Homo-oligomer: A and B are copies of this chain.
Amino acid sequence: MSFEVDFEPLGQRVSCKSGDNLLDAAQRAGIMLNAICGGEGVCGRCVVRVMAGKVSSPNIAEEEEMGKEQLDAGWRLACQTEVEGNVQIYIPPSSLATAQRTQTEGQGLPVEPQPAVRAFDVEQHPPSIHDLRSDASRLRDALDMPALTFPTAVLRTLSTDLRDREFRSAVFVSGSSVVGVASADARPLGLAVDLGTTKLAAYLVDLAGGETLAKAGAMNPQIAFGEDVMARIGHAISKPDGAEQLRIAVVEALNGLARDLCEQTAHPVHHIADAVIVGNTAMHHLFLGLPVRQLGLAPYVAAESAALDVQAHDVGLDFAPGANVHLLPNIAGFVGADHVAMLLASGMPEHEGIVLGMDIGTNTEISLIAKGKHFACSTASGPAFEGAHIRHGMRAAPGAIEKVLIRDDEIMLQTIDDKPPVGLCGSGILDLVAQLRKANIIDRRGALDKSGDNPRIRQGDKGLEYVVVPAAEDEGREITFNRKDVNEIQLAKGAMRAGVQILLQRAGITEEDIDTVIVAGAFGTYLDVQSGITIGMFPQIEARKFVQVGNAAGAGACMALLSTAIRKQAADVAHHVTYVELTAEKGFSSLFARNLFFDQHIADGL
């Protein structure tokens, strides 16, 4: 028996058999729904609304996740709902894995292109009985480069590549090594990648000209195996093929991004002749298939911290056959190449005065440069600001609440693209907590205060909750914020602030001495600095000292992609950092505990 499923508001239709679930049906229709749990019914991300038609009855997983009221209104988990007739399905923006606000924008410093790969146009006579030189030797002679070497992967297609193009071709060369053979006049491309714990950002760059031709973001598919680095390391060392699963997941995602970017710009993917990848130490190791057991246990030691050059082919990336992948150096612990890239892009090491840098993500890396010394640490801030672990949290997609203002009983919301609100993204969550605290709706411990008569505070199924958006017939789901949500933010901000304080102690200075705070990361682009100060996530200094630089790690990766000189500079920067392992710092636990409270002066502009 075959049925039609209509997906609205996208207008996609797909045929289904009886018993197919809506998640699979959507995938077949080319619609990617959020499904962090892989369709197990536990992440509650693939919420859809059945507008018409017959589907299976709600199961226990759905009752647990959604509650009776939502289910009665037709809201369901797509992964748990089976088609039993022709149906019409509404997909709220919060359930879509696509269409999120790009996390690829970042400010970098201008770079004079000095790429590793150059292209040479070569026109040769074909071999003949009077010219029996090998294909490689003929190229050496044509380019007048007697020391030119050919990696095995290049040799494996060289003879075909030359003959297919009738011996007129562009040869990509890096140093004295051939990267690939392309059509005559082809320009070598580069791919820069910020390999984040939660998100991937990729940039396709014209190596000779220096322009970024296209950029794209995607979720890190390793999320299915664990949300944070420790969970992934746990998966890698506890499952027989765990490390390989993680490696393959991210390699396939990078190949997918590369293909998408090349399709968008009408370039063949084998024109990618060079790549730079940055990530924290765990992402770096998992991508390369390096051991992570010793990284997951104290004293958290990396296998390698120096910059690495690997063959794209050897790590499973389908670029030009001899393409190199440069991995910027890691610093130590989890402070990896992504932080080095952020330092490069922000120009922090050249800043005048005392400068603090925070790259906020699932892990937050912090650098403090003061009086010629550079201290850095990493702190597990968790994915709360990515919208995860927050009941009605979501990523920054249309309809996400990104700004919040509370005046007495009134709450004002701004959503992305001015769409009806469907959830809270990171900057909205931060604003909400700051506003709740300023309005004394939550106390210094983070508890919702029911002593007043705020009509938005009510008893929910999981304790007290604040109603951000009430349920309304046409306008999507009700949005609430509860004690547990507040607690996630307390953990995140407590860890970040304690990290900053430890570095200040090491440098022998105080918050007041800081001249500049550089805030990086996708969330860092959009957050309200004042809200961050209000909840005590940031140092208690004037908001005007903060600079938001966006995805600086991605920007730094692009700089290193364009210039071998920048790669050398990166090694210097990494070399001069004093790494501080927070778990080894005596004062850290108590600083962390103290920073869980909301003890800041609750006043605008301090």
Residues of A with Cβ closer than 8 Å to B?
127-129, 131-137, 140, 149-150, 152, 155-160, 163, 288-291, 293-294, 298-306, 308, 310, 314-315, 330, 332-333, 579, 581, 584
Contact = CB atoms under 8 A, between A and B. Distances in A.
A303 B333 contact: no
B135 A288 contact: no
A132 to B, nearest CB: 5
Given A152-B288, A291-B156, A294-B163, A305 B129 contact: no
A251 to B, nearest CB: 13
Contact of A135 (B132, B157, B159, B303): B303
17 contacts: A127-B294, A127-B299, A128-B299, A129-B299, A132-B333, A132-B581, A134-B302, A134-B305, A134-B330, A134-B332, A136-B303, A152-B308, A156-B288, A158-B291, A158-B303, A159-B290, A159-B293
Contacts of A303: 134-136, 155, 158-159
A540 to B, nearest CB: 31
B129 A301 contact: no
Nearest to A298: B129
Given A134-B303, A160-B293, 7 more contacts: A135-B301, A136-B303, A136-B304, A149-B306, A152-B288, A152-B315, A155-B290
B137 A305 contact: yes
A314 B134 contact: no
Contact of A301 (B127, B288, B305, B306): B127
A158 B304 CA distance: 9
Given A159-B291, A291-B159, A293-B159, A299 B132 contact: yes
Given A152-B308, A305-B137, A315-B152, A332 B289 contact: no
A289 B132 contact: no
A129 B310 contact: no
Contacts of A132: 299-301, 332-333, 579, 581
A579 B133 CA distance: 10
B302 A135 contact: yes
Contacts of A127: 294, 299, 301
Nearest to A140: B306
Contacts of A305: 133-134, 136-137
B135 A294 contact: yes
Contacts of A137: 304-306
A304 B155 contact: yes
Contacts of A149: 306
A163 B291 CA distance: 12
A308 B152 CA distance: 9
Contacts of A150: 304, 308
